[in-house]
Structure 1
Amino acid sequence: MKQTIRELPESSRPYEKCLQWGPSVLSDSELLAVILRNGVQGTNSLVLANQILSLTKDTSYPGLLGLLHMSIPDLMKVNGIGKVKAVQLKCIGELSKRMASAVARPRLSFNEPITIAKYYMEHLRHEEQEVLIVMLLDGRNHLLKEEIISRGTVNGTLITPREIFMEALKYHAVGVVLVHNHPSGDPTPSECDQEITERVYTSGELLGVKLLDHIVIGDQKYISFREQGMLAY
């Protein structure tokens, strides 16, 4: 397709289609074309969008989800995607994750693990390494702060209760919730996960800062230690 977007029939132009019928009628490639705005000589933005999406078709995350797993250098390998457009595409991916969290936040309840899982799902299920987050709560179970404690392999020899409770004591928290992801997509807790949980629980009992739950995020799945009755140490 060597036509420019302007040379296409108006009914086939993504921007005009969006104006007339709204963004929900656009295909993934058309939505991407609207964001890209311009192609390069001999390649319009719609073709360019399809070329980007085709890079992800043989990966674990085909289509739009693949954009979240592509680096800026990966995107810049596509003819017509320079640094500016690559950064824009990465920022759009980040924006989508934050919007998902913003939608889930008003429903956040620390008595309902599924609401915590939904709050973190889009942010954590796309991570390619393990991320351990501690949520700090006050006496009324209001969220005081959320802090990334570790990025990389969540290992019992590397993560210590001290790191977690230093944050808790700093913010006068009386309860904590641990959340971390499994990049494999399977949220089944490992022996290491169970070891860390037990150590944090025991230390919290001594300090008067209770571990309320440890939630492991997979790909659209989660496991809550609390729901599974795994906190009765």
Structure 2
Amino acid sequence: MSIATPSLQAALPPEERPRERLLRHGPGVLTDAELLAVLLRTGTPGCNAVELGRRLLAEFGGLRGLLAASRDELRRVRGLGEVKAGQLQAILELARRELAETLSRGDALSNPGDVRRYCATTLAHRQVECCMALYLDARNRLITSELLSQGTLAQATVYPREIVRAALRHHAASVILAHNHPSGNPEPSQADEHLTRHVRNALALVDVRLLDHIIVAGRQTTSLAERGIV
């Protein structure tokens, strides 16, 4: 005899069901775990959807860690399964696209938090060091972003001339670099500082500014512009 998976609706009394509360009062009254329960719809044997949401938040240290988790990390959670892992990754992609849309409409320099969140949603979950560039127009609006390199756990190879070529191709007025530290250490290395200055000087030759170089290390980000390195 099979054991039915507890659903969001059946496992909780009506007044506590997140979906009904959402419909009556709106999403603002729901906790993070309850919002996850609405999206996941069902729990696992012995664990209703809200409890599963709480367990996921605890496992990954909150929403940011959960949404930055890789598919393999999600699948290792007992009972989560391929479909629910895919649902969570779809949420991350929607969040990343919403941030990209926001940055394409407004001044990135006026919204440094959005820039950092965009870089984190793109890079935080990667297990090897990767580097990306954000190309901005004269009003500091995002034109596009591109992954420049994907290296070993310790380093990624970035060629400043390729960044210059891409900046000219996209008619960019400025660039923001970002890369991740899979080690979790947010401090810039000497190599990071050297690359920053090298890219800054190369872009200056074609009258393009390097605005920042952001390091993403798990749930932490470091701005080299704020350190006075750019």
User: Which residue matches 2:14?
Assistant: 10
**27-36 or 147-156, larger mean C-alpha shift:** 147-156
Alignment of 1:153-232 (within 5 A): 155=155, 158-184=157-183, 186-206=185-205, 208-218=206-216, 219-225=219-225, 227-231=226-230
**CA–CA distance in structure 1, aligned partners of residues 114 and 27 of structure 2:** 28
Give the unaligned 5+ runs of structure 2. none
Structure 1 residues 107, 222: closer, same or farther in 2, change over 3 A? farther
**215-224 or 87-96, larger mean C-alpha shift:** 215-224
User: Which residue matches 1:21?
Assistant: 25
**CA–CA distance in structure 1, aligned partners of residues 113 and 66 of structure 2:** 26
**CA–CA distance in structure 2, aligned partners of residues 146 and 73 of structure 1:** 26
User: Which residue matches 1:71?
Assistant: 71
1:59-102: CA deviations, max 9, x gaps? 5x3244443315257437533x4433331222123323433444
**CA–CA distance in structure 2, aligned partners of residues 100 and 138 of structure 1:** 17
Alignment of 1:69-108 (within 5 A): 69-72=69-72, 74-75=74-75, 78-79=78-79, 81-103=80-102, 105-108=104-107
Give the unaligned 5+ runs of structure 1. none
Question: Counterpart of 1:47 in structure 2: which amino acid?
Answer: N
Question: Counterpart of 2:21 in structure 1: which amino acid?
Answer: K
Question: Counterpart of 1:223 in structure 2: which amino acid?
Answer: S
Q: Displacement of 1:150 after TM fit? A: 1.5
How many residues align structurally?
Answer: 221
Q: Displacement of 1:181 after TM fit? A: 3.3
Structure 1 residues 24, 139: closer, same or farther in 2, change over 3 A? closer
Alignment of 1:146-157 (within 5 A): 146-152=145-151, 155=155
**CA–CA distance in structure 1, aligned partners of residues 85 and 140 of structure 2:** 40
TM-score, normalising length: structure 2: 0.72
User: Which residue matches 1:132?
Assistant: 131
CA contact (8 A) 1:54 1:63 kept: no
Structure 1 residues 21, 71: closer, same or farther in 2, change over 3 A? same
Match of 2:48, SS state, is helix
Q: Displacement of 1:16 after TM fit? A: 1.2
CA contact (8 A) 1:186 1:221 kept: no
**CA–CA distance in structure 1, aligned partners of residues 133 and 204 of structure 2:** 16
TM-score, normalising length: structure 1: 0.71
Structure 1 residues 198, 63: closer, same or farther in 2, change over 3 A? closer
**CA–CA distance in structure 2, aligned partners of residues 32 and 140 of structure 1:** 37
Q: Displacement of 1:174 after TM fit? A: 4.7
**CA–CA distance in structure 1, aligned partners of residues 83 and 100 of structure 2:** 26
Report the structure number with the largest CA radius of gyration. Answer: 1
Q: Displacement of 1:53 after TM fit? A: 4.3
Match of 2:188, SS state, is coil
Query: How large is the Cα RMSD of the aligned pairs?
Result: 3.6
Structure 1 residues 12, 216: closer, same or farther in 2, change over 3 A? same
